[in-house]
A and B are shown apart, each in its own frame.
Chain A
Amino acid sequence: MSDAHADRLAPTVPPRHSPAPAHAGVTGHSPQRARPGALVWIVRIVAALFLIYLCLPVLLLLIGAFGQTWTNTVLPTGITGHWFSELAGDPSFRRAFSTSLIVALSCCVMSAVVGLPLAYTLHHRARHGHGAIVRLVTLMPVAVPALTLGFGYIAVFSGDTLPWLGSLWLLVLAHTVLTLPYLTQTLLADLRHLDIARLEDCAATLGASPLRQFLSIAVPNLTHSLVAGLVMVAALSIGEFQISNLIAGFRYRNYPVVLLQAFYGATGFACAATVVLLVLALAATGMSIVAASRQKVSS
């Protein structure tokens, strides 16, 4: 305790053999070996706690998924894989799984078809002083909660004139609307970073029409960020619950919506079902990271 006290006082009370005041400025700037101070340790501890907080549920899910019985004990007893086989045999889960995959893939296609030209147009508008529109479009997902959108869909599509609530394509459309801004933001960052506009100017002087500039310059240079963005779109779509829960009918419920119901049943089964979703999410994140790092290497 007293040692720590002395340590804290040390910088303010100069030792007796310290140099004369005339040199004080010089010694103040002299290089000193940086030692991890108290602050660094606090940061490390907070980071470690956060990591545990983040990983513990995942760990418990894994334990739960392979545990035989888990009632009124700290940890489950017995090891089994039968929750997974039960899950694989459950028709409603199999159906939800394939629905999720179909929705995610369709969502990717839609996002790519709409997002690439959209980002490109927004980028050109930003160059001509329409930056506010670009910012509005890219900030939309942060500002508008999915819930709002979901209620909007219910209001519009539940009537007799547009009775499309519960259809697969409406679910795809809703996911596209939600995930599109993330894709356009990724693309816009790359359009700026790679200075595509200058490359296109150059292509234009070499005889490329605007369409050929887009196809031969913008598209090939944006492939990496398009892939990275689409993986993110897929990950978001697969994990999407809020809006899906509101607008999905009984025929086309996606995985997270069905998953919620699993928690009314056996714990092991629910854990196993969640682990499946977790693996998908981790795979998507991994792919996104790989795509992003490859892009860094190439640029």
Chain B
Amino acid sequence: MSLTLENVSFRYPTSAGSAQGLDDISLQARQGELLAVMGRSGSGKSTVLRLVAGLLDGYHGRIAIGGEDVGGVPVWRRQVGMVFQQYALFPHLSVAENVAYGLRMRGVKAAERERAALDMLARVGLAEFAGRRPASLSGGQQQRVALARALAVSPRVLLLDEPLAALDAGIRQQLRDEIRALQQASGATTLIVTHDRDEALSLADRVAVIDNGRLLQIDTPQRLYDAPACATVASFTGLSTVLPARVTRPGMVDVGFAELRVDTGAWRPGYAVSLLVRPEHIQCDPPVATVNRLDGRPGAVRFFGATCRFDFLPDGATTPLLGESRTPATLAVALDPAHLRVLPPAVN
């Protein structure tokens, strides 16, 4: 089933504190697609999820699941599956009973739902824990049970609310792959909310970036990274250096300490812009005649095994460029014009 949000706006009642509402959000997740909603905490991304689930009400606009408007449909009739950050397993039920809970609510007979629950538990690799209490499981196992419970009801839309945020880094990566595999096997249209860019970029077919209740950009992870719409999206999707710049003539920008060749696109001379430099596009100690070559001196170096991240301060610059390569730059760097991006000027 597809999921559609059309011009959805939402405001929290004033008594409920300062939670971020939503401002005219439109997005669509196609059948079987995994769409990530990414944003920092308090950006309104969880609000999107709770509105789709029906846990929040009183929005303007239209939310449709499989083409059917779900406005006024209570949570328990929306046929969504939801996974919460803190697992939210029912402590008084066994693992198998947790997974079978949704089927029980749908009136499925005991024997049948037990078989279905065990089947789902086998798919998340926890069949032998069926009789245990949730509290005796590790965090990663609990979240897998929660995932099995949500998928057991064959939901029209699967909603994942920061499903990995409470887990350790190692388990997080493993479970991330499992979520992807399960999602593809079940073919459930999925909305995942996360503040973790690795999670969003590596899991999702497409990512919607939300900030201050507004949708900044929705696109494939690759395009979000390579062609962000603004500096905020650029910083959400990866490490980078954003330099304030001004277009001097078509194909050239002035960054204060140098004039650089870059595709200026529709930006005309005189415009203030931002120049985005991704760390891996900084070429170390290039030949003298290289385009956009900048002399300078090296700064801090952080070693990461396969690569290292380094600061490099071009002559005349006040803030260093962030680079990433096998060995850090020592005397000069070059910024490949093909990979530099001109973005709207930073707001602040």
By a beta-carbon cutoff of 8 Å, the part of chain A in contact with chain B is 128-129, 194-195, 198-199, 201-209, 212, 216-217, 220-221, 298-299
Contacts and interface: CB of A to CB of B under 8 A. Distances in A.
A217 to B, nearest CB: 6
Given A198-B84, A199-B88, A299-B135, 5 more contacts: A203-B90, A203-B105, A205-B55, A207-B76, A216-B101
Given A129-B15, A198-B88, A208 B80 contact: no
B82 interface: yes
Given A129-B15, A129-B16, A202-B82, A207 B91 contact: no
B283 interface: no
By size class, the interface of chain B is: 20 to 34
B149 interface: yes
B153 interface: yes
Contacts of A216: 101
Contacts of A208: 76, 101, 105
B88 A206 contact: no
B86 interface: yes
B106 A207 contact: yes
B90 A217 contact: yes
A195 B89 CA distance: 11
B105 A212 contact: yes
A204 B75 contact: yes
Given A129-B16, A201-B55, A206 B149 contact: yes
A206 B151 CA distance: 10
A221 B92 contact: yes
> In the complex, which of the residues B78, B84, B90, B150 has the most CB atoms of chain A within 10 Å of its own CB atom?
B90
Contacts of B91: 194, 221, 298-299
A207 B79 contact: yes
B81 interface: yes
B55 A198 contact: no
A209 B76 contact: yes
A1 to B, nearest CB: 59
A299 B134 CA distance: 11
Given A201-B55, A212-B105, A207 B88 contact: no
B16 A207 contact: no
B81 A205 contact: yes
A194 to B, nearest CB: 7
Contact of A205 (B82, B86, B106): B82
B9 to A, nearest CB: 21
Contacts, number: 70
B90 A205 contact: no
B102 interface: yes
A202 B15 contact: no
A207 B105 contact: yes
B144 to A, nearest CB: 15
Nearest to A129: B15
B57 to A, nearest CB: 12
A206 B92 contact: no
Interface string B78-115: 11111010101011100000000110011000000000
B284 interface: no
Contact of B105 (A195, A206, A220, A221): A206
Nearest to A224: B92
B94 to A, nearest CB: 13
B53 interface: yes
B219 to A, nearest CB: 28
A202 B88 contact: yes
Contact of B153 (A201, A207, A212, A217): A207
Contacts of A194: 91
B93 to A, nearest CB: 8
14 contacts: A198-B84, A199-B90, A203-B101, A205-B150, A205-B159, A206-B101, A206-B105, A206-B149, A207-B76, A207-B79, A207-B105, A209-B76, A212-B76, A298-B91
A220 B76 CA distance: 20
Query: Which A-B residue pairs are the 7 nearest by beta carbons?
Result: A206-B102, A207-B105, A129-B15, A204-B75, A205-B82, A202-B88, A220-B92
Given A129-B16, A212-B105, A205 B75 contact: yes
B284 to A, nearest CB: 45
Contacts of A195: 86
A191 to B, nearest CB: 14
A203 B102 CA distance: 8
Contacts of B150: 205-206
Nearest to A210: B76
A194 B53 CA distance: 22
A206 B108 CA distance: 13
Contact of B55 (A204, A206, A209, A220): A204
A205 B101 contact: no
Contacts of B135: 299
A204 B86 CA distance: 16
A205 B80 contact: yes
A299 B102 CA distance: 23
Contacts of A199: 88, 90
B138 to A, nearest CB: 18
Contacts of B75: 201, 204-205
B92 A198 contact: no
B7 to A, nearest CB: 24
A212 B76 CA distance: 10
Contacts of B92: 220-221
Contacts of A207: 76-77, 79, 102, 105-106, 153
A206 B84 contact: no
Nearest to B92: A220
B53 A205 contact: yes
B84 A204 contact: no
Contacts of B86: 195, 198
A294 to B, nearest CB: 13
Nearest to B155: A205
Interface string B145-178: 0000110010000010000000000000000000
Interface string B34-60: 000000000000000000011100000
